[in-house]
Structure 1
Amino acid sequence: MRSSPPSLLPSAFGDRTRVTLSTGHEIDLPLELDFAMGGVTVPARRSRLEALLPDGLSALAVAPGLSCATFVGIRYHRVGGRVDDPEDNVALEPYDEFAVIVPAVRNGRTDVPIAQLAGGEIGGYVHWLPVTTDASVALGREIWGYPKERAAIEIDDGPKGFRCVVADDRDDGRGRERVRLAVAPPRTRVGTDRRERTLWCYTTRDGDLLRTRAELWGEIAIGTPIGATLEVEPELRAELGCWPRPIARLSGPRVRARLHPGEPVGDA
């Protein structure tokens, strides 16, 4: 059943917009977030990923017939509110999340990797996004069309690295395990990027392709796959056409982000 659209009201914070979700929770957009994350990128058959993407997007080509998929676990410490305003309580309870993202190019339908980037815009299409609370399901689905669903997610983001296990959500705690991810911390601080990054996320909502700008800053390290492992259930592996051997890893023990409202985009 399609969710009702959220109610948008002018915010007391200038160009910010207050959103009331179907659950009754209120947040302000752009949405401000604090979190820890860990992830890996693995190779995948491009033909499988192309079948999962909406019109207007093409899977990023890294070699003939080959693309990639990214698996990321996220532990939110703050969802909404403003870090510079202690009196701002417009926020959701922190939750855990796991994302399967297909690196994609808009306006880039060609099998040649370099040619694909000419005139194309690189972003990530969110294919699967399990979370741990009902409010976070409503947040993602109603505003951006994120394919969120409840799941049992266990995350450990301690000093020994980032570990995440995703299983079906069952009251008895015996849900089928879907994904198991482990990312060791960087061996040194070299390679940790504190610059602000701008990323583009793609989703579909009510039949429209949406493009969302995400601004990230904090301790983000991208490196070799040493110390990273991934286990994926056979059904999901077949759906993505991916191999579970990482080709890169991502670490972010302290990250802040600002997520803007999505904008409809055309195929041209």
Structure 2
Amino acid sequence: MKRDAPPFENGDEVTLSTGQTVELPAYTRATMSGVVLPASRTRVADLLPPGLSPVRAGFGTGAVGFLSVEYHDIGRGALDPYDEFAVILAARPDSRTGVASLSVPTGIEGYVWYMPVTTEPARAFGDEIWGYPKVVAEVEITEEDGHRRTTVTADGERVVTMAVEKPPTVTREETITAYTEMDGSLLGTRGDLSGEMGAWPFSRRFAYSLGDHPKAETLRGLELGDRAFGRFYADGEVVFGAGNAV
């Protein structure tokens, strides 16, 4: 994996192909929920780019995060609100030693493998600045009786449906680290999250089902478990800096 300089730096103003201009670091306000599921570590490794290794969450076990996000404000009005779903493979750079740990409520330090969003500017925002694998799709998010339900449909086929019970929350700050590929280089992006957050470890108070989309078939092959390492919820501000070469 190349270690070229990242395409942008904090302080840059980036004009997207869709016409919007965003300043880095990018301020966002969002509500998110998700789960971290056990998976086959070997099969997770097969989906990672060179330079990253899957976390060890047990003998032969890795982890995969499902994250549902409603973005209410992006760049202080630079983009219209949009919804998003992310599949994140728990991983860390090969250069770091030791056994990685799972982080809840911020999900996991990991590689963003799939990220459907609901608008073309949202796709350009993630893809053109950080290399996120965003595609425009249908992401329907509803909330009822303390449960947040998300259904993702792409190319006319259902990918996944997820429902997560909201855990108790407190006001706190956390850091998110996401890895992506851009122009043949591996980038790491830090997101600083502050607001109301909650997590519940080793939970069954969630449900998910996979559809018939090819991405769903790949996820089936990861041997995902039905008891989560944790479920989580957050509502607040997330500030994303420029990506750094890993």
TM-score (norm 2): 0.85
Q: Which residue number corresponds to residue 112 of structure 2? A: 126
Aligned partners of 2:39, 2:18: CA distance in 1, in Å? Answer: 37
- For 1:40, the aligned partner's letter is V
> Which structure has the larger Rg over C-alpha atoms?
1
Aligned partners of 1:108, 1:17: CA distance in 2, in Å? Answer: 29
Gaps of 5+ in 2: 1-6, 102-107
Gaps of 5+ in 1: 1-6, 82-88, 170-174
1:195 is paired with a residue whose SS is strand
RMSD between aligned residues = 2.3
For 1:94, which of 81, 84, 89 is the aligned residue? 81
Aligned partners of 1:244, 1:127: CA distance in 2, in Å? Answer: 20
Residue identity over aligned pairs, in percent, reads: 38
Q: Which residue number corresponds to residue 72 of structure 2? A: 77
Question: Which structure carries more relative contact order (alpha carbon 8 Å, separation 6+)?
Answer: 2
Aligned partners of 2:226, 2:126: CA distance in 1, in Å? Answer: 27
> Following TM superposition, where does structure 1 have runs of at least 4 consecutive aligned residues deviating by more than 6 angstroms?
none
Aligned partners of 2:93, 2:110: CA distance in 1, in Å? Answer: 10
Contact (CA 8 Å) 2:199, 2:231: kept in 1 or not? yes
Q: Which residue number corresponds to residue 105 of structure 2? A: none
For 1:141, which of 103, 124, 127 is the aligned residue? 127
Contact (CA 8 Å) 2:204, 2:226: kept in 1 or not? no
Q: Which residue number corresponds to residue 22 of structure 2? A: 27
Q: Structure 2 matches for 1:183-222, cutoff 5 A?
A: 183-186=164-167, 189=168, 192-222=169-199
Displacement, 1:214? 0.6
Greater per-residue strand proportion: 2
Aligned partners of 1:133, 1:159: CA distance in 2, in Å? Answer: 28
Displacement, 1:158? 4.8
TM-score (norm 1): 0.79
Q: Does 1:54 align with 2:49?
A: yes
Q: Which residue number corresponds to residue 233 of structure 2? A: 251
Aligned partners of 1:197, 1:160: CA distance in 2, in Å? Answer: 23
